[in-house]
Structure 1
Amino acid sequence: MKYLFQLNHPAHYHLFKNSIKELKRKGHEVQILARRKDILLDLLKNETYDVLNVQKGKSLLQKIKLNKQAQNEILSYAQINRPDLIIGTGDFSYVTKKLSIPSVFCGEDDANLNLFIFAWALLTYGNFSSILAPVGVNNSIWNKKTTFYHGYHKLAYLHPNWFTPDKKIVEQYFSADKPYFLLRFAKLNAYHDVNAKGIDAVIAQRLIEILEKHGDIYITSERKLESQFEKYRLKINALDIHHVMYYSKLYIGDSQSMAVEAAMLGVPSVRFNDFAGKISVLEELEHKYGLTFGIKTDKPELLYQKIEELLSMPDLREEFQRRREKMLADKIDVTAFLVWFIENYPESARIMKENPDYQWRFK
């Protein structure tokens, strides 16, 4: 079989990288069509892939205009290469509509998170052949169409079956035994980040003042760093970030993606943005498992208070590893499930509709 993975963001590669590897190992032909986004092409350096030439726009109007160009390019690519199935997390539903090529959309955002996402869902969800999402995600009027599974996107690559932290990798850059903290500053300019705010220079400075008494500080940033923070910039191979994250004492950032990753690894995480209290996946990780904490941007003092509270917690690492184990016991091996779902599609979709418990075979 021939499978096309359409990737728009570094997180999409992490989500599918093990599935791609497994499908190739089983003798299938796998094609990758990727956007130039952040470090995505760096992550793909060991893969065979094609590049989507259209850039993403900066303004909303520009994004809409260029998105149409991207659609045409993806459609042309699919028309030439004729995959048996297209998989991804972006907008390629029109390929199914125009070329009758089946499509599987893997989503983790609630469809009703904000007006922009809901409008996007109205335009796309109806044309996807199947929608996959974690249990708990609210896909609104598309809940009946959605195949729900007990897992998270990030478990596809951070489940213990697929990821083993390596201290030696960290020690290529610095000591893994000395306490250190990982800070992440996102651009917050994606389609789901409309009107979102995060960590500014004043708050970043205060975080550093709190943390530097307890260990080293490393910053990974999508946005341009102010000059006073350059000395903290994390300079590593992008493929090594999860090893560095695993051995960190605490993650703080305005990126919800990395907050979920930290939770998957049992690393305490505090996220500071306007999505606190809104995203189902993070709400579950916070309120059911106690692995992450969301603070809204109008409450910076609460952010500092939560960090101080975590720093004073005895056996912090051991406690959060216990919380992680509880979470893992409730979840499946997402990559094993995805490979089965893709390889056996569309029969797999029918099986899951009739017997959702079938997924527990993938532990």
Structure 2
Amino acid sequence: MRILFDLGHPAHVHFFKYVIRNLEREGHQVKICVRERESIVKTLLASYGYAYENLERNTPGLLNKAVTMIKNDIRLFKISQKFDPDLYVSMTSPYSSQVSKLRGKPSIVFTDSEPTGLILSLTLPFTDAVITPINFKKDLGKKHVRISGFKESAYLHPNWFRPDPGVLDLLGVSKEEKYTLLRFNAFDASHDIGIKGFSGDDKKHLVRELEKYSRVFISSETQLPADLEDYAIRIPPHKMHDVLYYASLLVGDTQTSTTEAAYLGTPAVRCNSFVGPDDMSNFVELERTYGLIFNFADPDEAIGKSIELIQRPDIKQEWAVKREKLLQEKI
């Protein structure tokens, strides 16, 4: 079988990397196409030894995204004429779904984010199946397939992930030393329009308070203020999950990193304006059912909870028990 994967985010690389490896081992042919939102996608693919084809980079603004869609549909169609895939797979890519329909071939998409309404409306009519976590709030009709799991399990379950303690040497921290990872979002995706996270002042406040109790490292999708540059983490991108595993705490305004922390048994505080009555189902479940994360819309409340958590001496042991429950109940 010939399978085309359309990837647009680092999390997509992680989600599909073992699937792609196993398919190739079984003799299937795989083509990877990349929508380069950030160079880390290509860096990750290179680190895993995967070749790829380039699509147009997505840009902010609805008009720009509409133009990009047309360009990428044309580009992907041309790639498909040469590769002739039997199946298209993506994380809610309208490009691969639309091209698959034009070519009369099946398409499978995965999504775990309810706010991607616009993207879903441009994808759902053209795909054959949409796979989501079981508690996904929207009913996507007869094409909807619900599974009892999260996408992060595909690469962070112990069957796949083995933490590398050597990352501590890269960070310059000892095994006994606490450190906090701060992760900040760019909020430039189509479903992020109007969404806010930590402000510049909030980020500085976080660092000032948390460095009283631990080392602090920052991973940011946007340029940091000059006085926070020294905290920027500088490691190979494929080592980030090792960093997250050994961290005492994750604090951020991102989505995927929060779920990843839950799967790795690292306490996580998430803060952005998605949080509220209409928050995404996976974060509600991880907080209310498993107690692995904390969701806040108010930055001051998030900072207060972060200060409380980093001072708890045995929190990683406590979270290991919670993580085990998650691993037992989810695929």
TM-score by length of structure 2 reads 0.94
Equivalence for 1:100: 104
Deviation at 1:24, TM superposition (A): 1.0
Q: Report the Cα distance in structure 2 between the residues aligned to 1:147 and 1:53, rounded to whole angstroms.
A: 28
Equivalent residue, structure 1, for 2:6: 6
| Counterpart in the other structure of 1:285 | 286
Question: Structure 2 CA distance, aligned partners of 1:262 and 1:123?
Answer: 31
The share of aligned pairs that are identical, in percent, is 34
Alignment of 1:95-134 (within 5 A): 95-110=99-114, 113=115, 117-134=116-133
Distance 1:16 1:251, change over 3 A: same
Q: Counterpart of 1:87 in structure 2: which amino acid? A: V
1:118 positional shift: 2.2
Equivalent position of 1:136 in the other structure: 135
Cα drift, residue 194 of structure 1: 1.2
- Residue 80 of structure 1: which of 72, 78, 82 is its match? 82
Shift of 1:309: 2.4
Structure 1 Cα separation of the partners of residues 35 and 220 of structure 2? 19
Equivalent residue for 1:316?
315
- Quick one: which of 144, 163, 166 aligns to 1:165? 163
The C-alpha deviation readout for 1:52-96, integer Å capped at 9, x for no partner, is 242212222111111211111112211221111111111122123
The alignment yields a C-alpha RMSD, in angstroms, of 1.4
Distance 2:23 2:122 in 1: 30
Q: CA deviation at 1:49?
A: 2.5
> 1:314: how far off?
4.3
Deviating beyond 6 angstroms after TM superposition, the runs of 4 or more aligned structure 1 residues are none
Cα deviation, 1:104-129, whole Å, max 9, x if unaligned, reads 1011112xx3xxx3233223202201
Deviation at 1:249, TM superposition (A): 0.5
Matches within 5 A, 1:249-268: 249-268=248-267
User: CA separation in 2, counterparts of 1:308 and 1:172?
Assistant: 25
Alignment of 1:34-73 (within 5 A): 34-38=34-38, 39-45=40-46, 46-73=48-75
Alpha carbons 1:96, 1:129 under 8 Å: kept: no
CA contact (8 A) 2:269 2:295 kept: yes
Amino acid at match of 1:69: K
Cα 1:176–1:63 shift into 2, 3 Å? farther
* Structure-1 separation of matches of 2:73 and 2:86: 18
| Contact persistence 1:104–1:130 (CA under 8 A) | yes
Aligned residue type for 2:280 = I
TM superposition shift of 1:143: 4.1
The amino acid of 1:96's aligned partner reads S
Q: Counterparts of 1:308 and 1:50 in 2: how far apart (Å)?
A: 43
Give, as a single letter, the amino acid of the residue that structure 2 aligns with 1:302.
E
Structure 1 unaligned spans of 5+: 333-363
SS in 1 for 2:135: coil
Aligned to 2:296: 295
